[in-house]
Structure 1
Amino acid sequence: MRLLARLSFLACSFLSATAQQYAGDTISAFLPTISRAEVAFFRIPDPTGADNNLTLINYYSHGTNGQRIVESNIQRAIIVIHGLLRDPWNYANDTLNALEKVTDPNINQDSVAVIAPYFTSGDDKGYAYPWSSTQGSTTNALVWKGSQWSAGANNQYPRASTDTSSFTVLDTLIQYFDDATLFPNLKQITIVGHSMGGQMAQRYAVLSTQQSNTPVTHWVGNPDSYAWLSTDRPLSTADCPTYDNYRSGYSDFTDYPMTYGADLVAQGRDVLLSNYQSKQIAYGRATLDHGDDSDDCAPYSTGEDRNERFFYYIKAFGPSCDDPSGTNCDTVDYIPVTHDNGQMFGSSAGLARLFTDNFYGDGNKSYDFGYPRQQSGDDPYPNPSLVNTPPVTDTSTYAGNLTYQGCWSNQYPETAQALPTILYDNSSNTRQLCTSACVGAGFTIAGVQNTTQCLCGDTLNSQSAVLTVDSQCLLDCPGNSSEFCGGNARLSLFSNGFPAQS
């Protein structure tokens, strides 16, 4: 229903795709058409040479006149990766909608090329590519199993050639735009991924060694998980023996059969981290997005939801910007929207990262968007006029001289509470009520969680309690809606100085 609703919104018509040919086979299909773009078939090289006609389906933008782009006019190429629904037409359309918001008259469909590759799966058979009940896929169209495309796994079809990683596809698209004989005025390539596309963009940046004369930025927006670049995790892995298997780590590739990046992985995590940190990463974080779509245990060792995972990740592998005009200046943007790629692309931060940064090849880029910042190390390219903006926090002093000490996890509330005593569960709970009650009962630390609960103790259980970002403790206190009373298994904590741990 969601897919049909979006197609209806775009007023797409289902017609046989008779699109521009870019050396790949024309794949007979019934794909939606959108204005300002067409379906284009790209040939992807087979790493083994078994099939020289492997074909990737794409949505490729037109110029302002509705005709095919003039390559010599293009100054920027955007490779936008779809999400779980595999709807490249929507992502192409959303990117082009955002492009229309740019106020610089030189930045438009004549100077910006937008391509949205289609990583088809078995759910797209008979729709995106022909299918036979006896033969399976019957063309050279590249097809992946499930969502394995999001992590670089090798293709499933065509059966005669199953050694092409989805990351090889991104390499090929970069090579295409980096060809100065075809795009002589190209200044910037931007790989854009949101949600599952953001997962792909992050993992590709870790493993790719693709060389490009044109600067490449990897825009990573609101992924549900990250490939962790060390063997430790911020939260417990005790109940998740597979926590470090790929695509959450790099210990085992059984679930994602691939050969891409194998030599790099064999050199160890330090090499992977160095390779990742050599890339220009633009993080986009929707501050209203606290969702979670995990279907295995591994992501929960890196955070409760998308929001917490993001903050733990950049805390562990800090973004940096040593040279703002260079090719690996990271940025971190906070955007006050929900989990919506269209809103992300069309925001001021989205317009900067997707379209205007380095458009003229002068290295010029916008400062980090979104102040006040939310944790130490999250401002690699700070705006000097805003960098000292204090965060909105609780500066009150409560009973017993207790003061706010941040948001902490409570990982094992059933067996190992972060604080040992649940003093009450009260539908009139406030910070004042809990701190006063804990001090009155002789305790030195108080914590409120899940709006109504008040916990007390003298030390934090270090097995269960880990400091996290304040935005994980944003549930309103039922007795005072102007205050926050923790989160789900997350404590707003109060003590006289930094809390003791045991």
Structure 2
Amino acid sequence: MRFITTLLPLALGVTAQQYAGDIISANLPTIAGAEVAFFKIPDPTGASNLTLINYYSHGTNGGRIVESNIKRAVISLHGLLRDPNNYMTDTLNALAQAKASDANINADSVAVLAPYFPNGNDKYYAYPWTDGLRAGRGSQTSALVWSGSQWSAGGNNQYPYTSTNTSSYFVLDTLIQYFADETLFPNLNQIVLVGHSLGGQMLQRYAAVGPDLNVRVPVTYWIGNPDSYAWLNEDRPLSTAACPDYDEYRSGYSNYSDYPMTYGVDLVNQGREAIQANYQNKQIAYARALLDHGDHSSDCGANTTGADRHERFFFFIQSWRPSCDDPASDNCDTVDLINVSHDNGQMFNSPAGLARLFTDNFYGARNRAYDFGYPRAQAGDDPYPDPAQESVPNAGINYNVYAGGMTYQGCWTNQQPVTPAALPTLLYDNAGNSIEGCVNGCLGAGFSIAGVQNATQCFCGSALNAQSAVLVVDTSCRLACPGNTAQICGSINRLSVFSAQYPTFA
């Protein structure tokens, strides 16, 4: 077994650096451009000091960074697989791309940290474990370890068993405050927290309950493709009938301290309006992969906010509109639509990713790039619009006029079997389905509304059922009609609706 350690700080004369944690014997892989570094995290109760395992970037000479040269700190959070080595590699690869357009943006001016939030499955790999001891006593070092994926929502640590009061969110507080320390990083202009997938979930929930740390530099929360969100009120866009626990944390904020959570309890006890205000006071850089329609949610609460990652994102920003009243402020949100899949490397290396991770405000001038990705997907999803592109029409909208003057009226949910069908009559289900065929069939049967779903199905009615039909983002309807593949015929439980006027409801 090969053990990776860092050099002792005293040997380098860098006692001011955050290499003060205990050296944890581990079997973590070596990666180019970074080392495994052990940071000291104080126990919130003051009982002891703990150790956070990280990958920390090197300078261009292969040695440790010179703090006084650092203009930007990027904290890259791993996802479900707990693979900080891969996230460090992907972030460094993106940094190399940014350097290609601005040579000043490089490993000497940008510090990249990839913290590790290990769990019990990582014993022997991330931290040593002693077999044969009482339950829960096998971790004998100061390494911070969490239970399951509770790190992703701010849960307290599981190991070491002598000190279990440390929220993963307190760890993020500590890292932000470390980089914001002017005596260590006098030329720092920006801190960016980067979370993709489960890391994006972590960051969204942290932004909601994390306090204003009053640090001297702007902090951006880059949230990419989370599978779910902690909803900021008790309402949901879709039916909650099949999910009585829809509002429990992590989906909402009921039973918050049962998670178990000690971080943010005072704020949560103030109510949802306080949580909303806290969240909306943060600088959020939303990043949405338009080809990502996946869903790996583990609880029903996520399904009350959308069918998949794509729909949940657009419902969320529709409910809490991103804003950028002043692009030079510390509270200018951005929304980037990126034509890639659920892949953090693709997201980081896109022009949008490079801007948010590295170039925005790099020189401290408070400048940032406009929102990336036109045409937009729904109204209000570009808080910092590009004036050269914001008038570009949505190419995905069907502007055709069909028999009876029927036109496209949007993509709607059909939330069966929990509620009645959005349109009551299934006219047919066949492989020749097209919009013309469905519209003509519904008109011929005496109906005023036609809806195509799941590519092959045609539904008819004279009104939409208000319990089942909810308007969603147009891109939720994405399946080609088999009878005319240039057309879109809804999706699973999603109807592309056509009528001569805006649908009425029953």
TM over 0.5: yes
Aligned to 1:5: none
CA RMSD of aligned residues (A): 1.0
2:34 aligns with 37
Change (3 A) 1:254 1:279: closer
> Match of 2:263?
260
The CA distance in 2 between the partners of 1:296 and 1:226, in whole Å, is 12
1:31 and 1:223, CA in 2 relative to 1: closer, same or farther beyond 3 A? same
Verify the 8 A CA contact 2:268 2:275 in the aligned structure 1.
Answer: yes
Q: Which residue of 2 aligns with 1:384?
A: 387
Please state how far the C-alpha of 1:321 moved relative to its aligned partner. Answer: 0.3
Give the Å deviation of 1:377: 1.1
Distance in 2 (alpha carbons) for counterparts of 1:385 and 1:56: 45
Q: Deviations over 1:370-397 (max 9, x none)?
A: 0000101101000001010010111111
Equivalent residue of 1:403, what SS? strand
- Give deviations 1:63-112, integer Å, cap 9, x for gaps: 11111100000000000000000000000000000011111110000000
Contact 1:51 1:160 in 2 (8 A): no
What is the CA-CA distance between 1:17 and the residue it aligns to?
1.3
The answer to whether 1:475 aligns with 2:473 is no
C-alpha contact (below 8 Å) 2:419/2:468 kept by paired residues: no
- For residue 162 of structure 2, the aligned residue among 149, 160, 163 is 160
Report the equivalent of 2:13: none
Query: In structure 2, which of residues 279, 285, 290 is the aligned counterpart of residue 276 of structure 1?
Result: 279
User: 1:18 Cα shift?
Assistant: 1.4
Unaligned residue ranges in structure 2 (runs of 5+): 10-18
Residue 47 in 1 paired to residue 54 in 2?
no
**1:163–1:258 CA contact under 8 A, matched in 2:** no
Structure 1 SS opposite 2:460:
strand
Structure 2: distance between partners of 1:342 and 1:416: 42
Match of 1:77 among 42, 51, 73: 73
Structure 1 residues 477 and 255, CA, compared in 2 at 3 Å: closer, same or farther?
farther
The residue matched to 1:233 in structure 2 has which SS?
coil
SS of aligned partner of 1:31: coil
Aligned to 2:308: 305
Q: Is the contact made by 1:15 and 1:33 (CA closer than 8 Å) also made in structure 2? A: no
SS in 1 for 2:256: coil
CA contact (8 A) 2:241 2:418 kept: no
Do the aligned residues in 2 keep the contact of 1:373 with 1:379 (CA within 8 Å)? yes
Q: Aligned residue for 2:94?
A: 98
Counterpart in 2 of 1:214?
A: 217
Amino acid at match of 1:69: I
Query: What is the SS of the residue equivalent to 1:101?
Result: helix
Name the counterpart of 1:128.
126
Q: Deviations over 1:405-430 (max 9, x none)?
A: 01000001575110000000011000
Q: Say whether 1:19 aligns with 2:6.
A: yes
3-state SS, counterpart of residue 407 of structure 1: strand
Residues in 1 aligned to 2:362 and 2:112: alpha-carbon distance in whole angstroms: 14
1:84·1:196 contact (CA, 8 Å) conserved in 2?
yes
Report matched runs for 1:195-274 at 5 Å: 195-209=197-211, 210-253=213-256, 256-274=259-277
Deviates more, 1:39-48 or 1:131-140: 131-140
| Structure 2 CA distance for aligned equivalents of residues 395 and 471 of structure 1 | 15
Separation in structure 1 between the aligned mates of residue 478 and residue 242 of structure 2, nearest angstrom: 27
Contact 2:221 2:284 in 1 (8 A): yes
Find out whether 1:462 has 2:463 as its counterpart. Answer: no
In the other structure, the counterpart of 2:59 is: 63
In structure 2, the residue matched to 1:441 is: 445
Task: Return the alpha-carbon distance in structure 2 between the equivalents of residues 450 and 121 of structure 1.
Answer: 40
Of the three residues 76, 83, 87, the one matched with 1:87 is: 83
Residue equivalent to 1:137 = 139
In the alignment, the residues of structure 2 paired with residue 343 and residue 426 of structure 1 have an alpha-carbon distance, to the nearest angstrom, of 37
Give aligned pairs, total: 488
Shift of 1:254: 5.6
Deviation at 1:282, TM superposition (A): 0.2
- Residue 17 of structure 1 contacts residue 30 of structure 1 at CA under 8 Å; is this kept in 2? yes
The answer for the alignment partner of 1:396 in structure 2 is 400
Q: Is this contact kept in 1: 2:71–2:109, CA < 8 A?
A: yes
CA-to-aligned-CA distance 1:111-157 (integer Å, 9 cap, x gap): 00000000010010111001122132110000000000000000001
Residue of structure 2 in register with 1:409 after alignment: 413
Local SS of the residue matching 2:411: strand
3-state SS in 1 of match to 2:91: helix
User: Counterparts of 1:235 and 1:149 in 2: how far apart (Å)?
Assistant: 28
1:55 aligned partner, one-letter code: T
Deviation at 1:256, TM superposition (A): 1.9
Is the Cα contact below 8 Å between 1:15 and 1:32 reproduced in 2? no
Q: Tell me the residue number matched to 2:192.
A: 190
Q: Which amino acid aligns with 2:203?
A: A
User: Does the CA-based 8 Å contact 1:50-1:160 persist in structure 2?
Assistant: no
* Distance in 2 of aligned mates of 1:429 and 1:414: 26
Where does the alignment leave 5 or more consecutive residues of structure 1 unmatched?
Answer: 1-13
* Structure 1 residue 325 corresponds to structure 2 residue 328: yes
1:100 partner SS = helix
Contact 1:413 1:489 in 2 (8 A): no
SS, match of residue 44 in structure 1:
strand
Which amino acid in 2 is paired with 1:292?
D
Aligned with 1:283: secondary structure?
strand
For residue 348 of structure 1, what is the aligned residue in structure 2?
Answer: 351
CA distance in 2, matches of 1:415, 1:221: 32
Q: Is the 8 A contact 1:477 1:484 kept in 2?
A: yes
Q: What are the superposed Cα offsets for residues 414-462 of structure 1, whole Å, 9 maximum, x if unpaired?
A: 7511000000001100001000100011000000000000000000001
Displacement, 1:15? 3.0
Question: What TM-score does the superposition give when structure 1 sets the normalisation length?
Answer: 0.96
- Report the AA paired with residue 469 of structure 2: A
Partner of 1:113: 111
Task: Give the conservation status (yes or no) of the 8 Å contact 1:406–1:493.
Answer: yes
